[in-house]
C-alpha cells in the first residue's frame, strides 16, 4: 500500500498536464517538506489538496510559457501519432506483399506428379 507521501506525489503528478523541469522541481520542493511516515490526511491538512497546490503553481507561472509548452506537447503527440500510423500502414503493406509472394510460390510449385516410363522394344 502506498504511503501518504507517495499517494500525494502521484496525485500531484497526475494533475500536471505537462512535466517540464520546472514542474518536476516544484513537485520535488513540495515533497521534501513532507515526512515519509505521515498519513495522507495529515499531508492534506498541512499542504492542502493536490488540486490547490497545482492551481497555486499555475497562478505564479508565465501564461505564454505554459501555452508554448502545451502546443509543443500537442505537436509531439501529433507527430508520434503520424509516425505510428505510417509504421502500421507500412507493416500492412509488407504483410500483403508477403502474402502475394506466398501465393505465387504456391501456384508455381510442382506438386506430386507420377511419371511412368515405358520401354519400347524396337524390332527390325
pLDDT in tens, 85-118: 999 999 999 999 999 999 988 888 766 777 788 8
Compute the distance between CA of residue 70 and CA of residue 97 in angstroms, rounded to an integer: 41
Q: Give the model's pLDDT for residue 111.
A: 67
What is the number of other CB atoms lying within 10 angstroms of the CB of residue 50? 22
pLDDT number for residue 86? 98
| pLDDT at residue 5, as a whole number | 85
**pTM higher than 0.95 for the full model?**
no
The residues of the chain scoring below 50 in pLDDT are: none
- Cα-atom radius of gyration of the chain, to the nearest Å? 34
Question: What is the C-alpha to C-alpha distance for residues 100 and 110, in angstroms, rounded to an integer?
Answer: 18
pLDDT at 82: 98
SS3 state of residue 82: helix
What pLDDT score does 91 carry? Answer: 98
Predicted local distance difference test score (pLDDT) of residue 39? 86
pLDDT recorded at residue 94: 97
Amino acid at each position: 500500500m502506498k504511503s501518504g507521501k507517495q499517494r500525494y506525489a502521484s496525485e500531484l503528478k497526475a494533475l500536471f498536464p505537462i512535466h517540464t523541469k520546472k514542474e518536476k522541481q516544484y513537485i520535488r520542493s513540495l515533497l521534501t517538506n513532507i515526512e515519509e511516515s505521515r498519513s495522507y490526511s495529515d499531508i492534506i491538512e498541512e499542504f492542502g489538496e493536490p488540486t490547490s497546490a497545482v492551481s497555486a503553481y499555475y497562478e505564479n507561472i508565465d501564461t505564454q510559457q505554459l501555452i508554448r509548452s502545451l502546443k509543443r506537447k500537442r505537436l509531439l503527440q501529433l507527430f508520434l501519432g503520424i509516425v505510428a500510423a505510417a509504421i502500421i500502414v507500412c507493416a500492412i503493406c509488407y504483410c500483403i506483399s508477403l502474402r502475394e509472394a506466398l501465393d505465387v510460390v504456391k501456384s508455381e510449385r510442382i506438386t506430386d506428379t507420377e511419371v511412368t516410363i515405358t520401354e519400347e522394344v524396337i524390332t527390325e
